[in-house]
Amino acid sequence: MSIFRFPLLVWMGIATLIFSLGIRQSFGIFMMPVSETFNTGREFFSLAIALQNLLFGVFQPFVGMAADRWGARWIISLGALAYAAGLYLTSIAAQPEWMYLTLGALVGLGLSATSYVIVLGAVAKVVPPEHTAKAFGLTTAAGSFGMFAVIPGAQALLSAFDWQTALQVFAMACAVMVGFASFMKVNKPSSSEVTNSAGASEQTLREALREAFQHKGYWFIHMGFFVCGFHVMFIATHLPSYLADKGLEASVAALALAYVGIFNIFGSYFWGVMGDRFDKRYVMTSLYIARSLVILAFVTLPVTSSTAALFGGAIGFCWLGTVPLTSGLVRQIFGARYLSTLYGLVFLTHQIGSFLGAWAGGRIYDYYGSYEPIWWATVVLALIAAILHLPINARPVPRLQLAAA
Amino acid sequence: MNSQSLRAQLLRMGLLLAVVLVVLHNSPALQQVFARQAVKAGCHQQESVSSASPHAGHH
């Protein structure tokens, strides 16, 4: 199925991600002007962002449940309004402590309602199952693209106006997401998705959770995505410094990192396409093995001006492909009805992995005084994640099989 | 051109990637944008403030 035949909802979801994640990626350039305005140093702003990230993860499963219950359209709309309110209130904050509520809690809530979990949950309900991973891959790639697309605009705003005005412009941009959401109406699930063989009423949220929690494969998916979060945090935290330590010229290191970004976008889509064409478990295993081989080569072979970009591209290509494959597996096994709930929980596990990865990475570096153990740890973890996906029973649950019969 | 065979899709992806890389190689500004944000990309909760660069100007 051509991507241009995907329903309008898919493209509205992509637009939502570009705005939501793009604005979020721009917050870093606001730290200095905001800190200077309040004359507080960077702690307040940094803590507000850290709180935002934490609440983003904590809110996610519950916002996912709400989306499955009341529909992604309402959740994205309300989330966009919370996001806009958080940005606007930050712009008029009289005290720096306000930012914990505005930039931290409100924007964190807004992000959880306008990010991948909700959008993918909506996309799953309108795209045929055999094309879901490709749609997820496209959505993931577009979200990654959005993170780069908005930053030049943010820098231009800060150059032309004060940071308060820039945030207010962003708040208005958030309100546009309400417009996107209005086109994201999802029809009621088909009977094959909601009734069991006895023709009983639609599966409840509690039943969906019980079904998933009793499925061993669901826990393997959790473990694999935990490793992904832990794993990628290592790389994300240490890659720029590692390149700098190798004595590469700044321009060469920048090109290598730019390759990470570009290949991340294409890789997300590629692995999604593969997930529709081949068994998602084996594609996921292949992805993690590829990651381990790339990092192994990265650590053992000399990083030169010639190979830096190659390494960057290879690592980038194996970066976010896990998103369409993981969410695609959850959709394949449990159906689309409660995807935001079930994938939201998997995402929370991923964020816990990221948190531990950031913490453990620093501890390991401080203990050994070197990046080498970190890189070897990522190789081993990638292989563990590859193995974890093999025993997953990826067949749709009996409820779906009986309904389709 | 509209074929959805795997080979056709991969070929289109490859061509688009090649065009993007040519543009990237000819645009230092684009390289900087991608370089600063590349490893922060994704659904991972990266601490975006750590990549903050001095802003161009403020009032």
Following DSSP, what letter does each residue of A93-137 receive, concatenated?
Answer: -SSTTHHIIIIIIIHHHHHHHHSHHHHHHHHHTTS-GGGHHHHHH
- CB contacts, 8 Å: B23 with chain A: none
Residue A254 corresponds to which tokens in the numbers above? Answer: 């920048």
- CB contacts, 8 Å: A46 with chain B: 47, 49
Round the CA-based radius of gyration of chain B to a whole number and report it.
17
Residue A367 has pLDDT above 80, yes or no: yes
Helix (H, G, I), strand (E, B) or coil at B54: coil
Domain-located, residue B54: no
Taking an 8 Å cut-off on Cβ atoms, the answer to whether A28 and B49 are in contact is yes
Domain-located, residue B16: yes
Q: Hunting for tokens 């330590």 — which residue is that?
A: A245
- Phi, psi (5° rounding) for residue A128? -55, 145
Taking an 8 Å cut-off on Cβ atoms, the answer to whether A147 and B56 are in contact is no
Helix (H, G, I), strand (E, B) or coil at A318: coil
Minimum-distance CB partner of B41 among A32, A144, A163: A144
Domain-located, residue B6: yes
Alpha helices in A150-249 (DSSP H): 151-160, 163-182, 191-194, 205-213, 216-245
- CB contacts, 8 Å: A261 with chain B: 34-35, 37-38, 41
Picking from A371-375, B10-14, B50-54, which range would have the lowest pLDDT averaged per residue? B50-54
Domain-located, residue B3: yes
Domain annotation for chain A: domains and CATH numbers: 3-187 (1.20.1250.20), 205-404 (1.20.1250.20)
Provide the domain count of chain B: 1
Q: Does B54 touch chain A (CB under 8 A)?
A: yes
What is the greatest pairwise CA distance in chain B?
55
Report the interhelical angle of A43-70 vs A205-213 (nearest 10°): 110
Residue A340 corresponds to which tokens in the numbers above? Answer: 């935001």
Q: Hunting for tokens 């359209």 — which residue is that?
A: A73
Of these ranges, A3-7, A44-48, A205-209, A252-256, the one predicted with the greatest mean pLDDT is: A205-209
Domain-located, residue B26: yes
Domain-located, residue B1: yes
Q: What is the pTM of this model?
A: 0.85
Task: Identify the domain containing residue B27 by its residue range.
Answer: 1-36
Q: Hunting for tokens 């005290």 — which residue is that?
A: A95
Mean pLDDT of chain A: 87
Residue A252 corresponds to which tokens in the numbers above? Answer: 């060469």
- CB contacts, 8 Å: A269 with chain B: 13
Model confidence at B38, pLDDT cuts 50, 70, 90, reads low
Q: Which of B2, B20, B35, B18 is nearest to A251 (CA)?
A: B35
Judge contact between A227 and A240, C-beta under 8 A: no
Instruction: Measure in Å the smallest separation between the Cα of B24 and chain A Cα atoms.
Output: 8
Residues A99-144 have pLDDT tens digits of 999 999 999 999 999 999 999 999 999 999 999 999 999 999 988 8
What is the greatest pairwise CA distance in chain A?
67
Instruction: List, in order, residues 6 or more apart from A384 with CB less than 8 Å away.
Output: A227
Report CA-CA distances (Å) from A327 to A41, A90, A123, A247, A290.
40, 34, 11, 39, 20
Domain-located, residue B55: no
- CB contacts, 8 Å: A60 with chain B: none
- CB contacts, 8 Å: A38 with chain B: none
Residue A357 corresponds to which tokens in the numbers above? Answer: 């990865």
Identify from A27, A56, A151 which residue to disrupt to test chain B contact, counting B C-beta atoms within 10 A and taking the largest count.
Answer: A151
Mean pLDDT of chain B: 67
For chain B, positions 15-44, list CB contacts with chain A under 8 A. Answer: 16-17, 20-21, 24, 28, 30-44
Taking an 8 Å cut-off on Cβ atoms, the answer to whether A261 and B41 are in contact is yes
CA dihedral B1, B3, B4, B8 (to 10 degrees): -60
Q: Hunting for tokens 């060469």 — which residue is that?
A: A252
Taking an 8 Å cut-off on Cβ atoms, the answer to whether A116 and B56 are in contact is no
Judge contact between A354 and A230, C-beta under 8 A: yes
Instruction: Measure in Å the smallest separation between the Cα of B13 and chain A Cα atoms.
Output: 8
| Complex ipTM | 0.76
Residue A196's pLDDT is 44
Domain-located, residue B28: yes
Q: How far apart are CA A221 and CA A219, in angstroms?
A: 5
Model confidence at A59, pLDDT cuts 50, 70, 90, reads very high
Model confidence at B58, pLDDT cuts 50, 70, 90, reads very low
CA dihedral A50, A56, A58, A60 (to 10 degrees): -170
Residue A401 corresponds to which tokens in the numbers above? Answer: 């099989």
Q: Hunting for tokens 């934490």 — which residue is that?
A: A54
